[in-house]
Structure 1
Amino acid sequence: MQSLVRITCVACLVAANAVATTAAAQTSASQPSAGGTPEKMPFDIPYGTAISLDTAKKLLAIAEAEAKKHDWKMNIAVVDTHGELLAFERMDGAQYASIEVSQNKARTSARFRRETRVFYNQYESGHAYVGTLDAGLVASPGGFPLIEGGKVVGAVGCSGGTGDQDAAVCKAAADTIK
């Protein structure tokens, strides 16, 4: 009888170990990819010297002119390489809620060195983890890094319309930086 109890105990231990090993293997194999391992670092654009206040004001004027062509009321923000505000404009009639959104779009774009539409696309494809990256991150079109000589020198963010309207206004300004 003691032999039968020992055999049963050993069999239970072996079975439990096999189940645990299989579960561990299935768990690691079933984990979703974190985006793969690219050969090069994505969005690896070096930071340059931040744009001047005069340049930031010119960008505001360009963005405003683009918005006026379409009768879109926008909040427009221009930030330095750190994402800190250099210049801001709220057009007459632009919604108040978009003040902070425009500034956070510009900040997100400068700090992450990419257009904010990239984050929007990640959310849309089910990658909600981007919301954990930064409390002020905005995953909506309308934030563009300013690239001069291959370096990030600031960013512009627009808000007040649809994402595509915001992006069109900001892109008009961002495209003037070479």
Structure 2
Amino acid sequence: MRSIVSMILAAGAVAIMSSPTLAQTPPPAQPSAGGTPDAMPFDIPYGVSIGLERAKQVMAAAEAEAKRRNWKMNIAVVDTNGELVHFSRMEGAQIASGPISIGKARTAARFRRESRLFYNAYEAGHAYTGTLDPTLVASPGGFPLVEGGKLIGAVGCSGGTGDQDAAVCKVGSEVVK
């Protein structure tokens, strides 16, 4: 009887050890990093940084759009280095969104692209973008300001949803051509 029990236990152990759940599986394939483009992406040359008067024009357009839609926003304009040039927190805008708007603008200026692209990368499973810069803000609402084909700064908005932030900032960025 003992030998029968031993044989049953041994057979059960073999069955368990050979099950697919315990078998080694290869690691999942790494997501594509986008391939190797022929041209450098986002290769916008730097121009002379935006000045206060031009930043005020960008701010006025963004703020007018936010008021038109009755959205309370924090709006930041930064220079080519991502340093703050002009900031406005509309009456009743969320206090926590002040630094976020500056971060979105800084991200757009330093990386020469809309901050939404980092959000899209995270959504696609490319979490490595968070390792690029500790100040990077991966959220819609940061737009580079490009004048005459050169980057002069960026605008960032925060206080609504990401799409609301982006809608307001887009209007501000269109002041600069």
Match of 1:110, SS state, is: helix
Distance in 2 between residues matched to 1:176 and 1:61, nearest whole Å: 10
TM-score scaled by length of structure 1: 0.82
Match of 1:161, SS state, is: coil
Q: 1:2-48: per-residue Cα shift (whole Å, max 9, x none)? A: xxxxxxxxxxxxxxxxxxxxxxxx88xx5554332111111011100
Aligned partner of 2:76 in structure 1 is 77
Q: Is the 8 A contact 2:57 2:175 kept in 1?
A: no
Match of 1:48, SS state, is: coil
Q: How does 1:134-173 map to 2 (within 5 A)?
A: 134-173=133-172
Q: Is the 8 A contact 2:31 2:125 kept in 1?
A: no
For these two proteins, the number of residue pairs brought into alignment is 153
Q: Cα 1:32–1:123, aligned 2, differ >3 Å: closer, same or farther?
A: closer
Aligned partner of 2:14 in structure 1 is none
Q: How does 1:21-170 map to 2 (within 5 A)?
A: 31-170=30-169
Distance in 2 between residues matched to 1:31 and 1:173, nearest whole Å: 38
Distance in 2 between residues matched to 1:48 and 1:175, nearest whole Å: 17
Q: Is the 8 A contact 2:31 2:126 kept in 1?
A: no
Distance in 1 between residues matched to 2:135 and 2:98, nearest whole Å: 13
Tell me the amino acid that sits aligned with residue 105 of structure 2.
A
Distance in 2 between residues matched to 1:119 and 1:101, nearest whole Å: 14
Distance in 2 between residues matched to 1:87 and 1:156, nearest whole Å: 9
Distance in 2 between residues matched to 1:159 and 1:120, nearest whole Å: 14
Aligned CA-pair RMSD: 1.7
Match of 1:78, SS state, is: strand
Which structure is higher in helix share?
Answer: 1
Match of 2:77, SS state, is: strand
Q: Which runs of 5+ in 2 are unaligned?
A: 1-25
Tell me the amino acid that sits aligned with residue 66 of structure 2.
A
Distance in 2 between residues matched to 1:86 and 1:31, nearest whole Å: 40
Q: 1:74-111: per-residue Cα shift (whole Å, max 9, x none)? A: 00000000000000000010001100000000000000
Match of 2:45, SS state, is: coil
Tell me the amino acid that sits aligned with residue 135 of structure 1.
P
How far has the Cα of 1:58 moved from its partner? 1.5
Q: Which runs of 5+ in 1 are unaligned?
A: 1-25
Distance in 2 between residues matched to 1:83 and 1:125, nearest whole Å: 26
Distance in 2 between residues matched to 1:72 and 1:143, nearest whole Å: 17
